[in-house]
Amino acid sequence: MPTPIKMPALSPTMEEGTLARWLVKEGDHVSAGDVMAEIETDKATMEFEAVDEGTIAKIEVAEGSEGVKVGTVIALLAGEGEDAASPPASAQDQAKGTAITGTPEPTEAGEEPEPARSPAPATGTGGGPSEAKLSRNDTGSARAGVGKGGDRIIASPLAKRIAEQRGIDLASVTGTGPNGRIVKADVESAPPRAPAQAGTSSLEAQPHEAPASKGAPVAATSGAPVDFGIPHADEKLSNVRKVIARRLTESKQTVPHYYLAIDVRLDALLKLRGELNAALEAQGVKLSVNDLLIKALAKALIQVPDCNVSFGGDVLRRFARADISVAVAAPSGLITPIIVDAGAKSVSAIAAEMKDLAGKAREGKLQPHEYQGGTASLSNLGMYGIKQFEAVINPPQGMILAVGAGEKRPYVVADALAIATVMTATGSFDHRAIDGATGAELMQAFKALLEAPLGLVA
């Protein structure tokens, strides 16, 4: 019997993913270690390798499918001596541990299949538990699961959603699909349900069918923004963008942010960077200002360990090293590869590692251990000419440092007005874990390290 290949958990937090692309087709022979597919997780697109040798008997999940749950059978692998051309019809059901209770009904294009139902128990007389139950998710009508004479109404999931949005009672719709199944076309041609009249039972006039929903645009009920007639194009969100939206919304809603800004004179740092690059040129290493900022933040966190923490409900987690998550703009969205133990690494090692991680991030090839974790984050928008900004904390971390562009400004040097290269850095802190004075100590330590930069290479 063919072996089921299931959707893998490619990270500890992965619950579902997108099967971005199949690199094999039915009938192909694969060996252990062969790349079979590319799977998009909430952070990156990763390759999925075969662990056994065999022939791809059947592909159960088409490429491009989104929201595929971990553990779902995505393909069947036939071993030696097994018929790869015609696998047993029950192979996937046995792999999922489910029994076939009937012939599945066909679905419309673009719809999810109707979930399998167990045979209905014998019904009795009267209004006992054996009667068909009402389902809030089937339609906007309270009689969505019950038809005339107690018969169940058979409708496709898409038809049910359209009926709910348009206020159509499926009990009044005649299905034209197989076995009288109500399909999309039947619902679209049906008139909306009339307003509830006096004497209508409370079951037929549900609270969610209040007049506020009548005449409301479909976009409003589905959560999509109203376009007001403006020409537009809707782009489907990637898994990465969905996770960014969810996590940052949670951060702003649940983490009490406070912000501390400080101006840093960069002239000494820029001079040191030039000298170091001249010395490292033969090794093919070129330091960026960002590499030095990573090192400075890590050393500042070591100097002020009360900021190298994470709030955990009833515990405060203190970290023994400084792992810096660095924000990188990738085509799929923001991602934060990590420089592990940045405080203990040389600036040349940080530069080489950051170059490699940034390239992987932009190609969507980061491995989970390269972007999961971190004790604090650094976000630099100086290359865009941004003078100052405030970043959103990346939970469960306790702080993030936002740095702007270094620019020539009037500056007091030795009690005299001069021109200096100055950068504004703004720290965002979780007030549950880090007090204001403690955050100020970190910002002061960061400034001191940059203005006397020999400490970064000591």
* Sequential pLDDT tens for the chain (458 residues): 788 899 888 776 778 888 888 999 888 888 888 888 988 876 677 888 888 888 998 899 998 888 888 889 999 988 776 665 544 444 444 444 433 334 444 444 444 444 444 444 444 434 443 333 333 344 333 333 433 334 567 877 777 877 877 778 888 888 777 667 787 777 777 776 544 443 333 333 333 333 444 444 433 334 567 878 899 888 888 777 888 888 899 999 999 999 999 999 999 999 999 999 999 988 888 999 999 999 999 999 999 999 999 999 899 999 999 999 999 988 878 889 999 999 999 999 999 999 999 999 888 888 888 998 999 999 999 999 999 999 999 999 999 999 999 999 999 988 999 999 999 999 999 999 999 999 999 999 999 999 999 999 87
CA 114, CA 105: separation in Å to the nearest integer?
7
What pLDDT, on a 0 to 100 scale, did the predictor assign at position 15? 81
Handedness of CA 243, 249, 255, 260 (dihedral sign): positive
Active site members: 431
Contact 331, 359 (CB under 8 A): no
User: Which residue(s) pair with 257 in the sheet?
Assistant: 430
CA 378, CA 423: separation in Å to the nearest integer?
14
Q: Could you identify the residue written with the tokens 């087709």? A: 25
Across 304-448, the runs of DSSP E, i.e. the strands, are 309-311, 316-318, 324-326, 328-330, 333-335, 338-339, 376-380, 399-403, 407-413, 416-430
Helix intervals (H) in 85-208: 91-96, 157-166, 184-188
Q: Residues 410-418: contacts with CB within 8 Å, 24+ apart?
A: 411/265
CA 160, CA 154: separation in Å to the nearest integer?
10
What pLDDT, on a 0 to 100 scale, did the predictor assign at position 265? 97
CA 336, CA 416: separation in Å to the nearest integer?
41
Contact 353, 376 (CB under 8 A): no
Across 375-431, the runs of DSSP E, i.e. the strands, are 376-380, 399-403, 407-413, 416-430
Q: DSSP secondary-structure letter at 173?
A: P
The answer for residues whose C-beta is within 8 angstroms of residue 415's C-beta and 6 or more apart is: none
